[in-house]
Structure 1
């Protein structure tokens, strides 16, 4: 068997295993150390098997205690630049809408155990490395039976992780401790409480959210029988560059993977988080889509007739600007901008989500990645765009 590492993740170890030619290649995922503090693995497994049944994700072919084995998909992983490319956007938007529309089926088959909606059975002080007597390093230690579950809701995850983060210690690493000591958790908690109220104003519909739709989790699957080339550890067809974009998938199909953080929740979070990911791991937030680019995405996300319904709602919210005399085109443009306001409000929530997540990863992950610096970048962008995004919400969803 030939074994090669698949790059791109910052949470887990992923390797491709190629057996003799008569057998199927597989991808073996080994969960990152202490990621069970961030992810409810039982809920994730249940979700993945549900999604496999309706055509999402790489098929699971084996499970083991700290990971799983999936079929290896002959595919191309999108880059952040491709994810934002107008040729790919229609396909991504339509696929995301199909994913969001899974909610009724996912709700109907939700697990009845506490795993999917768990809250900590031990206080944060019981976490390894917490409190005034920290563990010597990020090695094994006592752990709670259930971590705050992102599979419960995005806000439960944010505030649960914040509870955990406040108890962390980096005494084994003075440089990290010095950076961590600068975090004002009291101010952060107050900020998040205000942000939750702001997001509540946009009344984002409840859907089934992916919550981590970065470019590496969007694949172009090769058509059956097509030749593939190696790209980043995955076999991949090169997408067509035809001007019309009709063959941008090269005869293949779009697929989403990695549902560790998936749960039911506000549509806006998935939209805002996806738009944030245009920045890539380089955190080039100048790539965040403009209102015009977001409108193009939404036109492919919406189903026939929905834009007209949203335009009528926009008229009702803003009668002075969009009364009966206003043309339909103006009402529809306002409706698309209101969707952007929803996405932008939750883009702030997405920065908070991963900004807090990074604190726990900084303490426990053995992966060579500067999580504290990443957190600082996410919070810096949060504060840089906050006034602009709040003004957009104020315009379209007056308090």
Structure 2
């Protein structure tokens, strides 16, 4: 997940020696760097899968510096995705001009080009102009022709994560989070959504920290592809809408505010921009069908990140209340399921707008 700068302390000791050698080699190729060995390390806050650092070298020109990004992989997160696949995805997307370049790899991380753009904040996602830019960029991302089979990963991934969560949990945790009933829920959702044929290459983690904007050109860049795979596009959009309830840069980054979930008009506007961004005007029926699917895939998003939270609690050392985060995602699943798998009517949207949820 994404990150923002926190220059309050230098954690150079956190950078492995292997990475420092690559960094020194990179810097020695820049003639204006004063000292290739003298690097500033700035931790970037908000990442929950990896540790991320900005690396800076001062140059012979006053107030000018070279920057790169160092990503140190989180402990045990290989249970979530195949690291080699993620690197291949990273390199492919980079070649398409869609993200940062890969500058070097070391045993437990990599070095990336530093993008001179601003990482979005939580409130940016609700800004209509910004949201339209994100919708158009998401449509472009979904059209990437990734090499290999175009198989949906969502349902297999949910089942694999459920097995892992059950293996790592205590019996008390498994009972509290109703894990024994989740297998049936996954099958129910898969069956309910089996008619959806709109598949694309999805990011699957489009929270604000993974979206950057160049303030001058207004160009959007999507970063961090750990969870990226072919999936129903409605799942990716649903996941993005759910992320509007989060702010990972507060004193309680694990707390979600579901009153911030976008209302009906906001969702319709996003989907209309998404469908029309490559030309043409979608019919009202196309907009309504995608909107309905997005709302149902919201349930899959809750299961996805609920299981992620439980597993993360047991494998990741990053300071974040993963179990409370998981509890909220599962709670939303059970609260929203009756309305979303029944009839999707205006009464649901009134409830959402009020921030009150049926039990």
TM-score between the two structures when normalised by the length of structure 1: 0.70
Say yes or no: does 1:376 pair with 2:327: yes
Aligned to 2:98: 56
> 5+ residue gaps in structure 1?
112-116, 118-150, 171-176, 222-248, 309-331
Say yes or no: does 1:88 pair with 2:130: yes
CA distance in 1, matches of 2:103, 2:245: 33
Check conservation: 2:202, 2:236, Cα contact below 8 A. Answer: yes
Check conservation: 2:154, 2:231, Cα contact below 8 A. Answer: yes
Distance 1:163 1:178, change over 3 A: closer
Paired residues for 1:277-288 under 5 Å:
277-281=243-247, 282-288=255-261
Paired residues for 1:251-262 under 5 Å:
251-262=217-228
Aligned to 2:46: 8
Say yes or no: does 1:289 pair with 2:262: yes
Aligned to 1:340: 291
Aligned mate of 2:194, from 169, 175, 200: 200
Paired residues for 1:157-236 under 5 Å:
157-169=157-169, 178-201=172-195, 203-221=196-214
Aligned to 1:21: 59
Aligned to 2:155: 155
Check conservation: 2:174, 2:180, Cα contact below 8 A. Answer: no
Distance 1:153 1:360, change over 3 A: same
The structure showing larger relative contact order (alpha-carbon pairs under 8 Å, at least 6 residues apart) is: 1
CA distance in 1, matches of 2:232, 2:152: 12
Offset at 1:307?
Answer: 1.0
Distance 1:163 1:179, change over 3 A: closer
Check conservation: 1:342, 1:393, Cα contact below 8 A. Answer: no
CA distance in 1, matches of 2:110, 2:343: 43
Aligned positions, number: 295
Aligned mate of 2:280, from 305, 310, 326: 305
> 5+ residue gaps in structure 2?
1-38, 248-254, 347-359
Offset at 1:76?
Answer: 1.3
Offset at 1:388?
Answer: 2.5
Aligned to 2:17: none
Cα deviation code 1:128-178 (max 9, x no counterpart): xxxxxxxxxxxxxxxxxxxxxxx97011111001111111245xxxxxx74
Partner SS state of residue 259, structure 2? helix
Offset at 1:90?
Answer: 1.2
Offset at 1:392?
Answer: 4.6
Offset at 1:344?
Answer: 0.7
CA distance in 1, matches of 2:101, 2:79: 25
Cα deviation code 1:281-308 (max 9, x no counterpart): 4311111112211111112111333513
Check conservation: 1:204, 1:342, Cα contact below 8 A. Answer: no
CA distance in 1, matches of 2:152, 2:102: 23
Cα deviation code 1:18-65 (max 9, x no counterpart): 023267311100000001111200000000000001112221111112
Check conservation: 1:355, 1:374, Cα contact below 8 A. Answer: yes
TM-score between the two structures when normalised by the length of structure 2: 0.77
Cα deviation code 1:81-118 (max 9, x no counterpart): 2112101111101100000111xx21xx239xxxxx9x
CA distance in 1, matches of 2:88, 2:275: 29
Aligned mate of 1:273, from 239, 258, 261: 239
Paired residues for 1:7-156 under 5 Å:
7-21=45-59, 24-102=66-144, 105-106=145-146, 109-110=147-148, 153-156=153-156
Distance 1:393 1:204, change over 3 A: farther
